[in-house]
Every structure is written in C-alpha cells, then in structure tokens.
Structure 1
Amino acid sequence: MTSIASLVNQQSKPCTEWDGYRCAMQIAPDGTTRLTSRNGNDFTAEFAELAGVLAPALDGRAAVLDGEIVVYNEAGQPEFGMLQERCGRYQTHRASLRRDEPFTDLSVRFLAFDLLQLGEESLLRAPYDERRERLLAVPMPDPYRVAVVRAFTFIELDADRRTTADLLAHVTAAGHEGLVAKHRRAPYTPGKRTDAWLKHPLTQANEVIICGWRPGQGRFTGTVGGLLLGAHDPGSGKLRYIGDVGTGFSDAERSRLHARLEELHRPEPPFADDPPCADVARARWVEPVLVGEVEFRQVTRGSGRLRHTAWRGLRADKTPGEVLAPRPDREPETSSPPDEPAAAGSTRPHGLDEPSRPLGAKITVRAGARQLTLSNLDKPLYPSGFTKGEVIHYYSHIAPLLLPHLAGRPITVIRFPDGVGGEQFFEKNVPRGGPEWLPTVPLPSTSGRSRHGERGEHGEPIEYPLIDELAGLVWAANMAALEIHVPQYTVDPGPPPLRRAPDRLVFDLDPGPETSIVDCCRVAERLQDVLAADGLTAFPKTSGSKGMQLYCSIDTADPAAPSAYAKRLAQRLARETPDRVIAVMSKTQRIGRVLIDWSQNNIAKTTIAPYSLRGRDQPTVSTPIAWDAVHACRHPAQLVFTADDVLGRVAEHGDLLASLGSTRAPLPTD
C-alpha cells in the first residue's frame, strides 16, 4: 500500500475516512431531498431525519453532496455495527414505521466531503480545492445532522508543527477508519476509481459476497453460525472462495440473516472452482447476491483466504460486481511460525514509523466530555507489536462494559512504561500530575506502606483513583497502565471515606506446574455445585493469564467473612481430591494441582478486573465466559482471548457478567 507520507504533499489533501454508508444527498429547488447509495439504492425513507435539513440554507437552489452516513457510539466514535443495528431494525419494522419516525437511540449524521452541484451549476469538472471551498460556504443549519468532514493540507500540518505520523495517530485514537488523500486539482469522476483519491485504511476491511452459510449450533441453533465468503478475482473476474466468518454478529443479526439466506437457497456452490471440502463442511449455498463487509488481519498467500475475520454488516450500497478479492499480504520477514505471521498478525496502523524512530509526539483528543493529551501512540507495549494507541483503542471500545465493574472501587494498576518485558510496577496512589477532574478516595493503607512506598508504622492514607468514565480509562492507558485490579468491596467517598462491606466473593483458580486452565475448569465445575447448594450463583471468567476466577455476588456485614467462607470451601475440595486441588500457597506442593486461592477476599487484596488487559507476550484479556465454555474446555487455547477477540465476543454476546449484581444472596455463615 502506498505510504501516507507520499500521499500528503502540496498537491493532495487528506480527509478522515468514516465508518458508515457512502451516500449522495440530492436536494431539489423546492427542498425535496433524496438520499441514494453508490449503486442507486434509495435511502431516503430509512434515514428520513436527514431529509430537508439543508434546504433552508440553500435559498431555493438545488445541490448534490457526496458524503457518508454514520452513527456514533458512546465514546463519540463512528461505529459501523451500530449503523447496521439501526438498518436491521428498520428492515424488520418498516412496515409499521411512519416515514418520519426517528430512531432516538441511534441517531444518524451525514458527513459531507464533496459538492457536485450547486444551483444550476455542475461542479464535476471543477478542481477539488474549488469544490471544497464552495462546500464550506454552504451553511450547516443543524450540525448534529449534517456537517462537513475536516480536511488538511501538507502546508497546514507543517504550520502546526505536526507530521503525517501525528495525523495518523490522531485518527487512530479517534476511532476512524483511516484517511483518504485527494489531489487538490483533480475533477470529480463519478463511477470511476482513479489515483486522484487514494484510500489509506488503518484497519484492513473488505467487501465480501455471501455465498453460503453454516447453521448455528448450541445456543445459535435455528440461526446462522457462520458465513462462507466469495469475491471476484481482479484478473479473471471469476467468483472465488475467500474464506469464512463466524464472529461479530449480534443475535438479532444472526436471525435476520437466517431469514434472508433461506430464501436464496441453491444446491451447489456458486464459485468458479470448488473450495476445499474441509472448509465447507455443513455448508448451505445461496445465490451470490448479498454484499457484506468483514474486518480481517491477513490474506494468505497462495490460497488468498482471509484470516481472523469479524463481521461488520451488510452493505446495501454495494453490488456483487464491485467486490474484488483483496491482495495477499507480503511474506513475514521474521521466522514466525505459519499460523502467527509477525507482520500480518499485528494490527499496527499502516504507514506509522517503526518503533526505532524518536517517540514523543503528542496529540489532543476528546474522551467523552474531557480533553486529554496523549503521547507515543505508536510505541509498542507488547512483544507482539501491540501499540499504546491500540491499548487506548481497546479500552475506549470496551469502556461501556468495563466501567460498571470498576464503579465505586478503588483502583490499583500495573504500569509498563517501557512495555511488557521492561520495568513494571504496581501503583495505588494517583501519580503526581494526575488530572484534577479524576475522582479519588483517601483510604488507610492496609499494608503499612506510605504514599511513597516506604513501610510505615501506622499505614499512611493512600489516595486511590476511582475510574467512573471513559476519560479515566484513556488517562490510565496513556500512562501504560495495562492491568487494572480491584478489591471485592466498594467505597463510600464520605466524608469521611469508608470501605463498605464486601459485595463480591472471588475464588482464584491458579494452575500449578503440569496443569492448565483445563484443570481449573474441572475444579470450577465442582465449586459451582457447592456454591449453588449454598444459594450462591457463580460466574466464571478467565484471568487473562493461566488460570481463571469465579465471582459470586454476596450480602455480608462482616469484612472477614468472605475469606473465612472461601477458605473452608477450598480446604474441603483439597481434602476430597488432594491429588488435584491444594488450598495452601506452598510451591513445592503445587505440582500437578490447582490452587484455590481464597485469600483474594482479604481486604488488602485485589483481583484483575473483568475486561482488563494483562501484561503478557500477547494482549490477552481477563474475559467473562459462559458455563458452556467451561464445560467444553479440553485445551488451554480454547480460553485464551486477546483484545481483538474480546471486542468481537462482546459485540456478539454482550457482558456475560452483567447479571452478577442481580444474583446477590446472603453469604453462608456456617
């Protein structure tokens, strides 16, 4: 792919690439507005709230604007999945919807990036600079519904003392798809791909043709389990198989796709050449008429298969004839094994400088209602190449699920300022220079250590941070605080501040030498039965490392009671199966056994938070899982989830710990 540095010159102007539907807004002199996709589909009824917005500003003139329709998530980032949810809801209910009925929870915005006609004058032959100037002169009476995409020139960037790498880092942190570099003197050429507009994506995505599907199993029975994908060979034009996708679907989307695909059944695969039999077991074939979009990490050489795919949604604005197979990736330049190519497996944004360059560039971003300054976004924090920018991206997207599990709990973090493998340290106190808006709570030290780490006789108070909003997560991630740990209690901020009684019971299952998380799953099943007999509901999650934890929501007035209860259960299981379970910390006794660590219920202890990253070779995550996954686990790899995996899982399953609080029950006292 062409380097962004070679695109951004005095003859080009990069604009942000948005995560939505390409759309033309056509406004007649009487104000009638029509919204159409690239392939002529009429979007007007579907996005009725956009119709007529610009008419008052045009004073009876006609106009045609080119742009993108987007939906924003809670972090203020355009999210294609939410746009797909809105479109799916419209398709399901359009027979009963009024034409002008809004979707108040999923409002849309039209982002204009070109002006093709104004009044009776066609601007197709005008240079982009002129079209851009005329577009900026059009008043935007309702910027919440229609706005103009921001653009930059090389001269403007240079005047701001910013580099193209800074611009890419800013775009990455803001959650955009990438940049489009446009030649400033080029005309507009409808329906043609030219070098005047060059797309520079930060993540790999491609349109695909749905050619078949696999029925779902387990809880997905009766819906779509996965899709079989095709695309046209750029050379021959033949339709060929390019792989499958099984993640990224919501339950509603699986059901909608099932209904549509059943109507398109055909007996044979539609490809020019039959795909490998092993790849298409249980496949049901369909007419290749539906276009969708997937994210992926790699295109394999030789076979041209997409690897590590995630579904993004149907593309009503594209036709099957437009869908071309992406080019295979370059061979990895290291000796990585075939299943884990070093370059292709990394999600580092294309075009950023390598880590050996001086790191120090700062950018300003908005996180919710806060403005933060971030730095060194392209600095790798994991040996796999996962960067600080990607850490911030993960925490920004997981925030709606993570924040409820942090609410009211004093936070301890583990920081990795030089990345995993370098120096790391626990931090409880808010560091000097912490933001004024960050809520904190002073609590007496339970370890007898002072604010500066020295051991004191009386345990000086610790000023713990409380992270209750997106900006707090971004601030912590910018400090390379990869791991977030929380206690089993919440606090009353006072004054005076007080620790409340514990509301969670936790069992940390830690596999010893010659055991794994598979053995932890067998112990977890036994614990689940014992806890259920005592009236408690257990929720499992992985630790993000080698083991796992079980959580129960409890009521107790005694801070010491959870540890005592957990210890009794751990000792009971150790007595019943001494060859498999241990309840003491002795390293010499742990070979071949799983430690049930009951001590994390102590007031002085913390546990890795749900959805927190871990400081390991890969950006693995402490991930809530279903009991079905625990029962089915027969290999450790089945319960290893990276940041990318988790974002796909939560889009499909939501928060598997969401109902933890609703199962609260009294802690047994016997």
Structure 2
Amino acid sequence: MAARASSSVPGWVEPMLAKADGGRLREGPEWAYEYKLDGYRACMQIAGDGTTVLTSRNGIDFTHEFADLAGVLAPALHGRAAVLDGEIVVYNDAGQIDFGLLQERRGRYQTHRSSPRRTEPFHDVPVRFLAFDLLQLGTTSLLREPYEERRALLAGLAMPDPFRISVVRQFTFTELAADRRTPQDLLDHVAATGHEGLVAKLLRAPYVPGKRPDYWCKHALIQTTEVIICGWRPGQSRLSGSLGGLLLGGHDPDTGELIYIGDVGTGFTEAERGRLLTRLEAIERRKHPFAVTPPREDTVRAHWVRPELVGEVVYRQFTRGAGRLRHTAWRGLREDREPADILAPRARERVAAEAAPTPPVGPKITVQAGSRRLKLSNLDKPLYPDGFTKGEVINYYSRIAEVLLPHLADRPVTFIRFPDGVGGQQFFEKNVPNGAPGWLPTVRLPSSGSRSGRGENEIEYALLDELAALVWAANMAALELHVPQWRVDAGGQRLPPDLLVFDLDPGPGTSIVQCCRVAERLRDVLLGDGLTPFPKTSGSKGMQLYAAIDTDDPTAPSTYAKKLAQQLARETPDSVTAVMAKNQRTNRIFIDWSQNNPAKTTIAPYSLRGRDHPTVSTPLTWDEVEACRHVTQLVFTADDVLDRVDDHGDLLLNLPEKRTPLPSR
C-alpha cells in the first residue's frame, strides 16, 4: 500500500476529449468500447483525508452542487489521494440516463443556491458519478500510462457505494470476438437500451489533457451540438408572455467570428422557459452580436442578448450552404462550457454529415390499405423534432388501427394537422378538407354556435371507420385525433352522450404524478356511485378518466362532473381546483369537467400528440396509476404503445360493457 498522502486536494486535470469518428466505428484488437454518457463531465479530486472536489470540464467547482458525491470513494483509497475522470448523471425510473432530469435538478439548485438551502441534497433526484479513467493514484500521476493499465487500476478500486459511484462498463474488441459478437452488435444493443452511443478507446493510448487526439473516437447515435444563446423570441398563443424560442450562434472555426446557425423552439419544459426568460432578460442588448447580420425573416420579433450562455440541442441536419441547424430540440443549458469554446457544427460534423446525409423527400407511392388503394407522399419528411417521419406516423396508425378504430367509430373527428411538422404552423380542422376521397364517410352537424338545424352554420365532419381512413388522415399530417363523448346514428343524428370524461390538467408546480393521486380519489367516488372508471394519459402532461354511461340528457354529464370536481376542490383546495382560470392552477390539478359539454372534444385513445416526441394518449392500468412516482413512468411513445398493445391488448376494451346509468348528485 502506498504511503498516506497529504491532506491537500490534487490539482484539476483538464479533460481529454473524444473526436467524432465520422460515422465509422473503430474496430480491431487494439480498441475497447465504453458507453457514451449523457451528463456533466467532471474531474473528481480526492485528498488523502477524503476531502473531495468536483470540477467541471471548464474548471468550474461543482462540489457544492453535487454534495452527495463528496467523500464517497474515500473508503476504497485507504488514505491515498486520487484523481478520476468521469460523468455525473441521473437515472430515470426506467433505468436510463436522463439528461433532462439532471437539467431539472440543476434548475432547482440554481433557484435555491442563494438561500440557506443551497446544499439541499435533492433526494428525489439522486446523482451518480460514473468513472471511466484514473489519472492519479497516491502521489503517482498516471497520465503517461496506457489506457488499459489506467483502466485496470480503476477497476481494482472497490466501489463502496454503487448507488453514488461506479465504473463505466468496458467491452474490448477481443472479449466481444470471444463471445462471437462484433462492435456493431454492441452498438445495436446500445441503441436498443437508449444510450447515446459508444466511445472507442485505444488501449495503448496515454491521457492527453485538454486535447482531442485520435485515441478516443465517439460514435453518436443522435446528433447533438453545443450552441451559444444569442437572442430569443417571445411566445405566441398558449406561450404568450413566455419564451417562444432561442436564436443560436457558434464561432466560425476558420475566422473565430460569431455566426448565426439557426434557432430552437421545442424541447423546453414550462419551468425551463420561465427560468431561461428571467436569465435572458437580465443580459439583453440592443443589437445582435453576430459578425454578419442574420436574415431578416429569421429575426422577426427577436430580442438580442449578450452571448454568455451555452446550451445543447439535438438536431437532424446541418445545412452546408446556409450553415443552419435543422429540426432542433432543446436539451438544456451547459453551465460547464464557455462560449469561447463553441464552434459552429460544420467544423466537427462535416465528415459525419457527408457519410450519412439526410434522405431526400421521397416521391409519391401507391399503397394498399385494406380494400383501398391510396397515394402517399413525402414519407421521409420529419414531422417531429427528433426525426420521426411521416412514414413512421402512417406506420404507427396502420399498426394501431385495430384497437384505435373502435374508439373512433361513429364519432365526428376533429383533426389537428401539422403540415410543416411539430414546431411549424398547426391548425384545427373540423370540416373535411377539399380533395378528401369520395369513399370517406362524413356527417353534417350544426356548429356549436348555430341555432339552426342546417345551412351555412353546419360542419361536415369526417368519420374514420376503417384502416384506409386512418392512413388518409396520417398522410395529411393529422397527428392528433379529437372526438366528442357522443356518437351519431346511421342517419347522421347526434345520439345522447355515452361517455363521461374527467380531464386532469396539471398546473405549474405539478405533474402527472399529482394527477394520479387525484385520479385515485376520483376513482373511489365514481365506484361508489356505481360507475367504472378507466384511466389513460393525455399524451401530453395530464391524464383522463373515462366511464361509460347511459343518459338521455346531453347536459347531465357536465352537471355531474362539475359537482364531483367541486367536491374534491372543497376537500383539498390547496391541491385541486375546479376553476378554469389560470391564476387558480398553480400547484393544483385542474379537474376539467367541461370536457363533457356536447360541443367539446377530447384526445382519442391511442392518438399521437404534436409534442417534441411522438407521444401517445395511452390507456393505463390502475396498478400503473398507483405506482406512478415520477413523470417519466407514464410517458409512452408510438413504439412503446405498439409493444404495450402486443402485450396487453386494448386496456379500454371492456369500457362499453361497463355502461351504467349516470347517477344524479
């Protein structure tokens, strides 16, 4: 055992960086592979007496922010000093590293840092240090030692608390070959388990602080880049008074000038929009900070700021001509990066972009959908910021049709269309659009403001009753399908309501977790009244409860639902409101009873939503509702829902069989 080290903390080692591999994963017996991590790069410096300092990749002291990690490795060092390179991460309830949760934790820390609670441990968002290199042990520097020897020494340290610190798993090329596996097999596994990619590391390589040599090569499965926030746009419509989007910059790698590289308007939580707006308003400036004035059409309504904040975005493409990021989504601030270090993406991603260009928009094709033949177009067009295409939307609706169509049967459909994709212009469409196929069934009904039975105040709604109708709707980018709580008969007459719905909408400071607690209370009351409630997510932030009912009075469901909502609000006024006013919703769940108004519609079960990712309004079990303790537990994408239906079928299948006369209250 080495002699006991001094109690002084070892100095910070500027991290060695990985170089993009240009789309070609390195192979051969001289290489080993580690997971590409999605957190904050950190140097852990430990003195002989266990005193620990955490330093970010650009030299910022992280120790107070991540106080839970201080001293965690000291028992394994037996009085020796050490310096480790690694990543601070947060795991979600699905066991995946979640950068969004880490950002959420940071936002809370920043909010409270000036208060006496600045060292609050945030027990509900625990952090973990994943070590992948050992740079010093005792008084001996290991920087000149080969990676495989540094790694062996690191693996020899007994991790005293694996919940707070562990060693990133390593796979050598030789070990993979012995298992009859290839690096590509490993990459496929990495993609399936939700990791960002792989880093290939040369076994014989030394550690070169602050450099980006060919010794470490990163193979990313998603494209991310760091950007400088140079301006912002105010939000419109539902985002009025908040942050709408950010205008982004980076330094030209040849001249060093700050240049405009595009914008980002999706991927923000409401809380993050508020925090960002507060910080941006404090650093506003009158003129843009770029060396060349950006195009006028890109800077309408822009507010400029000093280029002091660095963030990270996901993107699908970087155009080589105009030099713009396309199909972006926000990932979060990078407090560990300096604006001076941020280069425009083309300098680092040119090889990767040339190796895997974005596919061109495809021509029209003819497909068979049931007994119909339809022409589809632009299947490669991304409709979601994460790259989910129109073709994938059509594929989802085709595969989910068997369980979705019964919930649409005989219900007039209101579409929300996104012809330019999520983030572009969207619009509600009740009337069947021009060019709809002649075989599509429709029904003409008075508009909600009409007092006459027929005429100019009528709306001609589509009825989606077969696979081909779903495919037609998806082809016109109708991502969201909304339906009322009543049906029409064969003659096109409106029938009495057959569904009761409670829409649980989380206000600021709450989430679907609190919705679940309110849903449990509603369930108990509904069961006591003889009704059988079925839960589902909204596919956005909230959830709904359905119960099948019999009633001859179109107004009765709203009356019943309002009384029940008001009852819960009286019982717990601090956590529930039955009032629609936004100023009443902070830290409360709004029980929207008005969804039972015959003029209102609700997102259909299994419908996609127009959000940052292709999330779905998903039927749930009550066990899932009761077990929900984190928002990520009840977020389901199109792929998730297809798997759920394969495993469980339609969880709303028995809803019609549970129809019961609507009680009075």
Sort the TM-score into its range (normalised by shorter chain).
0.5 to 0.7
Alignment of 1:66-85 (within 5 A): 66-85=85-104
Q: Distance in 1 between matches of 2:206 and 2:285?
A: 44
Alignment of 1:198-597 (within 5 A): 198-327=217-346, 329-330=353-354, 332=358, 334=360, 336=362, 342=380, 384=391, 485=404, 507-509=411-413, 518-519=429-430, 545=474, 546=478, 547-550=481-484, 552-553=500-501
**Aligned in 2, Cα 1:157/1:344: closer, same or farther, shift over 3 Å?**
farther
Q: If the length of structure 2 is used for normalisation, what is the TM-score?
A: 0.59
Q: Distance in 2 between matches of 1:154 and 1:95?
A: 49
**1:106 maps onto 2:142 in alignment:** no
Match of 1:173 among 167, 192, 200: 192
1:507 Cα deviation (Å)?
A: 4.3
Task: Note if contact 1:8-1:154 (Cα within 8 Å) is conserved in structure 2.
Answer: yes
Alignment of 1:561-640 (within 5 A): 608-611=605-608, 622=616
Q: Distance in 1 between matches of 2:553 and 2:333?
A: 52
Task: Note if contact 2:143-2:206 (Cα within 8 Å) is conserved in structure 1.
Answer: yes
Match of 1:194 among 177, 197, 213: 213
Counterpart of 1:535 in structure 2 is: none
**Aligned in 2, Cα 1:157/1:309: closer, same or farther, shift over 3 Å?**
same
Q: Distance in 1 between matches of 2:67 and 2:430?
A: 56
Q: Distance in 2 between matches of 1:644 and 1:321?
A: 40
Counterpart of 1:160 in structure 2 is: 179
Alignment of 1:135-154 (within 5 A): 135-154=154-173
In structure 2, give the amino acid aligned to 1:192: K
Residues 364-416 of structure 1 show CA distances to partners (whole Å, capped at 9, x for unaligned) of xxxxxxxxxxxxxxxxx9884x5xxxx9xxxxxxxxxxxxxxxxxxxxxxxx9
Task: Note if contact 2:382-2:390 (Cα within 8 Å) is conserved in structure 1.
Answer: no
Q: Distance in 2 between matches of 1:167 and 1:348?
A: 23
Task: Note if contact 1:332-1:344 (Cα within 8 Å) is conserved in structure 2.
Answer: no
1:342 Cα deviation (Å)?
A: 4.6
Task: Note if contact 1:49-1:100 (Cα within 8 Å) is conserved in structure 2.
Answer: no
Q: Distance in 2 between matches of 1:34 and 1:304?
A: 40
Counterpart of 1:20 in structure 2 is: 39
In structure 1, give the amino acid aligned to 2:501: S
Counterpart of 1:62 in structure 2 is: 81
**1:126 maps onto 2:145 in alignment:** yes
Task: Note if contact 1:19-1:78 (Cα within 8 Å) is conserved in structure 2.
Answer: yes
1:301 Cα deviation (Å)?
A: 2.6
Task: Note if contact 1:8-1:153 (Cα within 8 Å) is conserved in structure 2.
Answer: no
Aligned residues: 447
- Report the 3-state secondary structure (helix = DSSP H, G, I; strand = E; otherwise coil) of the residue aligned with 1:132: helix
**Aligned in 2, Cα 1:528/1:35: closer, same or farther, shift over 3 Å?**
farther
In structure 1, give the amino acid aligned to 2:33: P
Percentage identity across aligned positions?
A: 51
1:154 Cα deviation (Å)?
A: 1.0
Q: Distance in 1 between matches of 2:378 and 2:406?
A: 36
Residues 494-526 of structure 1 show CA distances to partners (whole Å, capped at 9, x for unaligned) of xxxxxxxxxx99945278xxxx96125999995
Residues 633-669 of structure 1 show CA distances to partners (whole Å, capped at 9, x for unaligned) of xxxxxxxxx969999xxxxxxxxxxxxxxxxx98489
**Aligned in 2, Cα 1:147/1:117: closer, same or farther, shift over 3 Å?**
same
Q: Distance in 1 between matches of 2:44 and 2:190?
A: 25
1:620 Cα deviation (Å)?
A: 6.2
Q: Distance in 2 between matches of 1:214 and 1:257?
A: 12
- Report the 3-state secondary structure (helix = DSSP H, G, I; strand = E; otherwise coil) of the residue aligned with 1:7: coil
In structure 2, give the amino acid aligned to 1:518: E
In structure 1, give the amino acid aligned to 2:99: F
Q: Which moved more, 1:168-177 or 1:84-93?
A: 168-177
Q: Distance in 2 between matches of 1:74 and 1:206?
A: 26
Counterpart of 1:572 in structure 2 is: none
**Aligned in 2, Cα 1:318/1:78: closer, same or farther, shift over 3 Å?**
same
Task: Note if contact 1:27-1:55 (Cα within 8 Å) is conserved in structure 2.
Answer: yes
Which segments of 5 or more consecutive residues in structure 2 lack a partner in the other structure?
1-19, 364-376, 416-426, 434-443, 452-468, 486-499, 503-525, 533-546, 556-597, 619-635, 642-659
**Aligned in 2, Cα 1:11/1:281: closer, same or farther, shift over 3 Å?**
same
Task: Note if contact 1:482-1:612 (Cα within 8 Å) is conserved in structure 2.
Answer: no
Q: Distance in 2 between matches of 1:162 and 1:347?
A: 33
1:247 Cα deviation (Å)?
A: 1.0
Task: Note if contact 1:484-1:608 (Cα within 8 Å) is conserved in structure 2.
Answer: no
Q: Distance in 2 between matches of 1:12 and 1:317?
A: 29
Task: Note if contact 2:232-2:304 (Cα within 8 Å) is conserved in structure 1.
Answer: yes
Q: Distance in 1 between matches of 2:251 and 2:287?
A: 18
Q: Distance in 2 between matches of 1:521 and 1:54?
A: 65
Q: Distance in 1 between matches of 2:401 and 2:167?
A: 36
- Report the 3-state secondary structure (helix = DSSP H, G, I; strand = E; otherwise coil) of the residue aligned with 1:171: helix
Q: Distance in 1 between matches of 2:39 and 2:320?
A: 30
Q: Distance in 1 between matches of 2:190 and 2:65?
A: 29
Q: Distance in 2 between matches of 1:348 and 1:110?
A: 28
Q: Distance in 2 between matches of 1:251 and 1:138?
A: 42
Q: Distance in 2 between matches of 1:325 and 1:524?
A: 54
- Report the 3-state secondary structure (helix = DSSP H, G, I; strand = E; otherwise coil) of the residue aligned with 1:192: coil
Task: Note if contact 2:233-2:303 (Cα within 8 Å) is conserved in structure 1.
Answer: yes
1:9 Cα deviation (Å)?
A: 1.6
In structure 1, give the amino acid aligned to 2:177: D
For the aligned residue pairs, the C-alpha RMSD in angstroms reads 4.5
Match of 2:107 among 75, 88, 91: 88
Q: Distance in 2 between matches of 1:300 and 1:524?
A: 47
Task: Note if contact 1:4-1:164 (Cα within 8 Å) is conserved in structure 2.
Answer: no
- Report the 3-state secondary structure (helix = DSSP H, G, I; strand = E; otherwise coil) of the residue aligned with 2:285: coil
Q: Distance in 2 between matches of 1:250 and 1:525?
A: 38
In structure 2, give the amino acid aligned to 1:226: G
Counterpart of 1:42 in structure 2 is: 61
Residues 302-340 of structure 1 show CA distances to partners (whole Å, capped at 9, x for unaligned) of 111111111111001111122111126445565648x97
**1:184 maps onto 2:95 in alignment:** no
In structure 2, give the amino acid aligned to 1:259: T
Which segments of 5 or more consecutive residues in structure 1 lack a partner in the other structure?
350-380, 392-415, 426-480, 489-503, 531-541, 570-597, 599-605, 614-618, 625-641, 648-664
